[in-house]
Amino acid sequence: MFSFCSDPATLEGFQWMSCYLTTGKHMSMYWAVGTVLLLLAITAPAALAFGFAGASAARSSFAPLRWFGKAYIAVVRGIPDIAFFLFFVIALDQAFEYIRHRIKCPDWEEPVRQGNDFVVCTAAKLPLGNAPQWVHETYGFMLAVLTFAIVFGAFAANVLFGAMRAVPKGQLETAEAYGMNRRQTFWRVLVPQMWVYALPGLSNLWMVLIKATPLLFLLGVEDIVYWARELGGAKQPQFTDYPHADWRMWYFAALLAFYLCFTKVSEVVLDRIMARLTHGQATAAGERQRKAAT
């Protein structure tokens, strides 16, 4: 990185450190932080969409759809989320391959499950066997994103379902009295009003989502946990220019500090948003705000 880094063996102290922290592998680790942020940026809206669909389904007047929505919300309560993460990554992968298998190789005779193997025809493999490395990585990442979206979508569905029920009944009755049908009442009255009730739950969910990002490691993505383990391990002089003892403790201390800062910043920002949204609302918090101002 720097010009004086050409011969690391002669360096000491601060210079050694600045060269060490800018090696190619460390750069990959900093990119992995970007991966985490990208995951959050994609998952948050996707989970919200899943949650909205789930909550709407749970309120549906069509019974099977309602059961499906309620089951989707209920099932995540009793079961550890890590189990879902491990389950969905394999299950989704196999589901996609199976669907492609049925479309691309309709005249395939043998069963897909043969003992302990899951066999699909070559054309149905995802990604294709001859695909470049980055396709494999992107596919793995997309599976992880989808898994996160499904699991956190169920959490969000629970929050939104509660928020929809918290909207005062009188508002909906008024809408009906004005002659709106179910759909109009839902989109024009219920949905705009529910966000204030949903925000505390959603901000809590955002914190939980941040704290769940290290689980990417379990899904086989090369994330910051992977790099911290990789880079922190003891390095022998014959294999690297920067030998050091076992520093994994310090790498994980750095990750801990990173997450603490991240959650702290989120907390401050979310508090501001909440303060702005409660401004002028007829809730206890809004009343307190009004009293404090006068």
Residues in the site for other proteins, rule: CB under 8 A?
75-83, 86-87, 90-91, 94, 113, 116-118, 154-155, 158-159, 201, 204-205, 208, 210-215, 217-218, 225, 228-229, 232, 246, 248-249, 252-253, 255-256, 259-260, 263-264
Please name the amino acid found at residue 142. M
The type of residue at 162 is G
105 vs 100: CA distance, rounded Å: 8
Cβ proximity to other proteins: between 195 and 250 the closer is 250
The CB-of-220 to other proteins minimum distance in angstroms stands at 12
Q: What tokens appear for 53 in the block?
A: 């669909």
DSSP state at residue 126: S
All residues at 6 or more sequence positions from 80 whose CB lies less than 8 Å from its CB, including other chains: none
Q: How does DSSP classify residue 235?
A: B
CB of 47 to other proteins, least distance (A): 13
Which of 157, 189 has the CB closer to other proteins? 157
Of the pair 186, 217, the CB lying nearest other proteins is at: 217
Give the nearest distance from C-beta 175 to other proteins in angstroms: 28
Kindly tell me which of 79 and 275 has the beta carbon lying closer to other proteins: 79
Amino acid at 36: V
Nearest-5° angle of CA 92, CA 138, CA 229?
A: 95
Give 118's strand partners: 113
Q: How far is the CB of 88 from other proteins (least distance, A)?
A: 8
DSSP label of 21: T
- CB nearer to other proteins: give 264 or 290: 264
CB of 30 to other proteins, least distance (A): 17
Whichever of 175 and 205 has its CB closer to other proteins, that residue is 205
201 within 8 A of 68, measured Cβ to Cβ: no
The secondary structure of residue 233, as a DSSP letter, is S
Closest separation between CB of residue 140 and other proteins, Å?
16
